[in-house]
Amino acid sequence: MTAGPLRLLLAGDAMLGRGVDDVIARHGVDWPLAGLQPALASADLVAVNLECAITAADTWYRGPAKAFYFRARPAAAELLRRAGVGVCTLANNHALDAGPEGLLDTLDILRNHGIASVGAGADADAAWTPAVLQLAGWRVGVLACCDHQPDFAAGPHTPGIAHLDVADPAQVDALLGRVRRLAAAVDHAIVALHWQPNWVPRVSADYQSLAQRLVEAGARLVWGHSPHHFLGVQWLGSSVVLYSTGGLIDDYAVDAEFRNDRQLLFELTLAPGRVSRVRALPLALGFAHTTRAEGAVRQWIVDRFAAQCRGHDSAVDDDEWLTVRPAPHRAKPGVMPAVHSPPT
């Protein structure tokens, strides 16, 4: 029997420490994401980038000083479970904020709540090991890595994250080899990257080139996060690149230009051998409380997202969810147009 379409919901950063941790203690684990429960409950998989450690221990990272340290109490994992999160990427610059002990606690706590994790581990081999999930008749593989915070890199015998130096051709080649092996072993391979600088206004040519190479290596979906705001979507044949999925929940100060309190939740529908549809739900992020965006806030998101997508030859149709489709290609003289698989 052929497996049917697979619906994934991919969010960006979920920071559950500091003020969010306090709100959970006061209002309970359901309150921060209660407004999104209908959307979250209908997915085959919900995935987030967990932008904090989860531990009851009073431990902190003992390496070079950082500007911010994010740590949440174990109730945060119950918030994720009740929101339907099935996998968390941990390859980011906050996974070790509570030290190696806190990272190991995070791994155990997530596991005990039935949530898979990827991109960090007790050693380098574990950090680079993909998560392989059985979902509605499909095998979906997720590989995660981070292009900054090199002091968080896992070692042969030390806990840490899967760190990638994007300027090192040998490391990039090694990543591409991992993607090829994963793609050969699963129906759909997802590469999650915590990449690019904060507040980057557009995707540089180097990152676009890396995304293209990942797709050529077999990635069905490249799932980016880290810049703190959403960026555009690009169709590459039967695959899709989400250059930045922004954020899902936090207690952050709001940047007046990039408006990190205005975000998107991305929905990807997977069919045999391809991504068949991409949609995005506009979100409004308050202090530790996320709801669907409405009115002028929603329109700001629609306009900015459409502009971002135009830079990657994608168009946005405005409905309850925003549908992203390949735009009619305008070929440049002497350049062969890209071949897109239109969504259905």
Residue 334 has pLDDT above 70, yes or no: no
User: Between 104 and 136, whose confidence is greater?
Assistant: 104
- State the Cα–Cα distance between residues 77 and 19, nearest whole angstrom: 16
Contact between 77 and 54 (Cβ < 8 Å): yes
- State the Cα–Cα distance between residues 14 and 263, nearest whole angstrom: 12
Distances (CA, A) of 6 to 186, 190, 269, 273, 330: 14, 13, 5, 12, 31
Contact between 249 and 229 (Cβ < 8 Å): no
3-state percent helix, strand, coil for the chain, nearest multiple of 5:
30, 30, 40
- pLDDT > 90: percent of the chain: 93
**Is it true that domain 6-326 has CATH number 3.60.21.10?**
yes
Give the pLDDT mean for 266-295.
97
Give the pLDDT mean for 47-70.
96
**Identity of residue 285:** L
The domain segmentation of the chain, as residue ranges, is: 6-326
Contact between 103 and 95 (Cβ < 8 Å): yes
Give the pLDDT mean for 15-36.
97
pTM: 0.94
Q: What is the 3-state secondary structure of 251-288?
A: CCCCCCCCCCCEEEEEEEEEECCEEEEEEEEEEEEECC
pLDDT band at 344 (very low <50, low <70, confident <90, very high): very low
pLDDT band at 1 (very low <50, low <70, confident <90, very high): very low
Residue 171 has pLDDT above 90, yes or no: yes
pLDDT band at 2 (very low <50, low <70, confident <90, very high): low
pLDDT band at 4 (very low <50, low <70, confident <90, very high): confident
pLDDT in tens, 107-161: 999 999 999 999 999 999 999 999 999 998 999 999 999 999 999 999 999 999 9
Buried b / exposed e across 273-296, counting CB within 10 Å, b at 16+? ebbbbbbbbbbbbeebbbebbeee
Give the pLDDT mean for 232-241.
97
DSSP one-letter code for 327: P
Give the pLDDT mean for 77-86.
98
pLDDT band at 42 (very low <50, low <70, confident <90, very high): confident
| Residue spans of alpha helices (H) in the chain | 18-27, 37-41, 75-82, 99-112, 124-127, 169-185, 205-216, 295-310
Residue 337 has pLDDT above 50, yes or no: no
pLDDT at 142: 98
Residue 251 has pLDDT above 90, yes or no: yes
- pLDDT > 70: percent of the chain: 95
pLDDT band at 3 (very low <50, low <70, confident <90, very high): confident
